[in-house]
Amino acid sequence: MVEENRVGGVCLNAGCIPTKAMLYCSSLFVSSFNGKRYGLNAQELTFDETSVDRHRNLTVTKLVKGVENLLASRGVEIVSDRAESVLMRKVKCRNCEIEGDKIIIATGSCPADIPSARFDGEHIIGSNEAVKLKNAPSSVLIVGGGVIGIEMATYWASIGKSVFVVEMLDRILPLLNDPRASAIVTESLKKKKARIITGERLEKCEVFGDAVKCHLSGGESLEVERVLISTGRKPNSCVASSDLFQKDNRGHIVTDEACRTSVENVFAIGDVAGEPYLAHKASHEAEVAVSVISGKSYRKEIEKIPSCVFSDPEVATVGITPYEAEEKGLKVVWGEFPFSANGKAVSSGMIDGYARIVARKPDHVIVGGQITGACADILIAEISLALRAELSLEDLAETVHVHPSLGEILPEAARDAIGKALHK
């Protein structure tokens, strides 16, 4: 294995894991701050960013070492170098060459800046720098209301920082194709005093000492300590730039259902092979590629891979939404159930959000699900299994769930879809 930096990629070192460590800390702060109703009387509550920094770093280090130990226990040799080109059966690195009958490219992606705001690593930053700040900026403009932007907005707003989010489309989290979920997260951020500006672009940035003056397309100017550009990512170019492989118009290496590239013995997985940019999508593709290399029949199923935005509340989705079904001309039925009618949610103060189950109209086979609410990352797994097993609405509706539990919202949503809701 050739690795330029630490094993674990973006997810472990500068993405999923450090942000979740930070968001856990901020969620505890918010819960404690609002805990009087539940018998928690905290006086002079403060947020210690030094402790958060230590927790984040310890979390990342522990998991990186865990991956290193797993690789070592399986006899994998780690070559600390930068791969610069891939030939038919050879990888050329800066300091060595490695030959192999089969090659897997997993070089990932990196943050992309925009013409009106180029990264300078200090005032205008990307997610790599954002998750490593020892102290949060007192004020920040986040350009791009996608997953990364909204998770960072949630963290900074939760600990009392001045947050502005600028999204050029008409709502945040636009790629979820779920206006209701976007509206709930927008309202939550506003309650944290974040300002959400949609339908506008960042036209120009000017750095003056320790401040950045940001000019928006609507004519407004904002002055902040830092600007986070979270408008998108691009595939890492060290290998993806090779003319040996077929690529799409954004530079991703094109692969088939077995993760093969246009060069038969070379496979590509993860971000470098295209969206969605998800660590578990990369892991799934890795299993597919290794299985095929081992002579087994296996194909990737991107449409059945769930995703989650760790906002407050969380937003998770898998398969298609009713809005996507309508755009594609598919006939579906769907049902919803609110957290506010769930006993566990009410008793725990987690009443924001809902669950939705989407199924084909003719046979009620489940084809999608969306959850906005507490523990959405956990609850979505049941719908993912339903998709993979091609279960019906009736299968889910008739499955007994623990009471009281958040999981009860799923059979309730399924019952709603077939017109047999019990508690709605």
Which regions of the chain carry the CATH code 3.50.50.60?
A: 2-107+235-303, 124-231
**Nearest in space to 260 (alpha carbons), one of 122, 371, 102, 109:** 102
Q: Which of 123, 215, 252, 403 is catalytic?
A: 403
Q: What is the pLDDT of residue 88?
A: 79
Does domain 2-107+235-303 bear CATH number 3.40.50.2300? Answer: no
Determine the topology of domain 313-417 in CATH. Answer: Enolase-like; domain 1 (3.30.390)
Residue 331 corresponds to which tokens in the numbers above?
């006939």
pTM > 0.85: yes or no:
yes
CATH of domain 124-231: 3.50.50.60
Q: 341: which DSSP letter? A: G
Q: What is the pLDDT of residue 414?
A: 98
Residue 171 corresponds to which tokens in the numbers above?
């709502």
Which regions of the chain carry the CATH code 3.30.390.30?
A: 313-417
| Segment 269-272 long-range contacts (CB within 8 Å, at least 24 positions apart) | 269/104, 269/105, 269/106, 270/9, 270/106, 270/107, 270/108, 271/10, 271/108, 271/109, 271/233, 271/235, 271/236, 272/105, 272/106, 272/107, 272/108, 272/109, 272/235, 272/236, 272/239, 272/240
Q: What is the pLDDT of residue 240?
A: 55
Along the chain (424 residues), what's the average pLDDT of each consecutive run of 10 residues? 94 96 97 88 89 97 97 96 87 92 94 96 97 96 98 98 98 95 98 98 95 97 98 82 84 95 94 96 97 94 96 98 93 98 96 98 97 98 98 98 98 97 88
Catalytic residue status for 364: no
Q: What is the pLDDT of residue 239?
A: 66
Rounded-to-integer distance, Cα 201 and Cα 128, Å = 22
